[in-house]
Structure 1
Amino acid sequence: MALLEVQDLRVTYGGVVAVDGVSFSVEPGSIVGLIGPNGAGKTSLIDALTGYHRPSAGRVVFAGDDVTSVKADRRSRLGLARTFQSVELFDDLTVEENLLVAAEQVGLLQPLRDMFLPHRPRGAEAVGWATSLLNLNSLSGRMPTDLSHGQRKLVSVGRALAQRPRLVLLDEPAAGLDSRESLELGQELRNLPDNDVSVLLVDHDMGLVLGVCDHVLVLDFGRIIAAGSPDEIRANATVIEAYLGSGGSEESHG
């Protein structure tokens, strides 16, 4: 069974159609890439999948459950996490504290856990796991303002992983990174499926997406125009045409 199934998803903003009848799936243990030129609808799709914008039609099924109408915080608790294009970090907290905030999930049994384990920070185990997975140990005690842009991006991925998701949706994690930082990010992402985390990677960096993904989807004007292996996408004339005919940076809803 697919971990994520997207069926005929349609996303609109007023009279503007951002995503138009998109269907695809993400299998457990895979890294699926989503690319597309400026204005393609990529971020709009991510917002709909994670509950930040309700689709006007279609279904989102996660781990066998229809979550189309489920709110974003509930989807997160079910194991569907995301990052954002902007680096959302608390600059007055250390890297470790940033991850602890993300890992903290308050539930009905939390007061009992606090009573019997008062000295154990909530989410400490998940934070340690995410920190080790992304090789952030040397940065744990540092403040975000002391980090490079690439390190801040990696910490933002760590915040999502600290929630111990089954699937993480990465929205432009390589934006603003140089080629070395992008390569390092790709190496860290390849470790995720081996640790029971599947990935949907949305990025403009073709080298990153084609280098780390098992399967790639190409979105243009809200529709999937191609899907296949990285080699198939590289050779696809429709994909080449879509990119040659585009320019600029990420769209406001894209």
Structure 2
Amino acid sequence: MSRTLLGGRSERNEYLLLHAFTERDFIVPDKSYGKSAQKVSSKENDDPEEHEGGKGRRKPAYTGGLVLEPKIGFYDKYILLMDFNSLYPSIIQEYNICFTTIDWKSVMGDGESLPALPDQELEAGVLPTEIRKLVESRKQVKNLMKQQDISNDLKLQYDIRQKALKLTANSMYGCLGFSHSRFYGPHLAALVTGKGREILMQTRELVLRMNLDVIYGDTDSLMINTNCREYEEVFKMGHKNMSNNEQEHNL
């Protein structure tokens, strides 16, 4: 119990995936101890608990999320913040990205080429399946929180549980980019972030086609200058953007 409570995100994900891969009769990689390896230091997987002694930033092993140049200025009208719902876990599920679905022959030996996206006819891989389980479990717990006559103590317990499930699902991507993880997969991590950059740019183009101005963007979110002072109108604008984006990306 003490080990469970003290365990960090990487260890929690490692044991979850160990069970999942073993159940499907896969041979998992051995754990490496004390082996020097380049650590990843990008926005998405820079985990303070996994850095030894905080010895400064290290060179990223692959390109992370896209950051758009901010348009500096004073804005006295509403700024609309559009944020993707769990972008990286959604990408892993949508495109079935996993060790078990990637055609590794498409990865060149130079270590820089990205694998091709998996055939969408393939059976769901281990990573997408486990993320989906976590997402569905969280939905069930959140439904339990909506029960009538539920005590505050029980509601608090459910809230802690749903937040833990959310954190585990969102950090599943991080184990792919953390060089000391048993399931280190920089090619998979790079494929996920690459698709994230592509989606962010497509979303930016969609917003520009609606004659709106994007003033900043970072990884999974955009800030849009609405040129509007009507609160309700801004909400309508946000829902319209969200609806159009869902149709375009099917995420």
- TM-score if structure 1 supplies the norm length? 0.26
Larger strand share, 1 or 2: 1
Query: Greater Rg, structure 1 or structure 2?
Result: 2
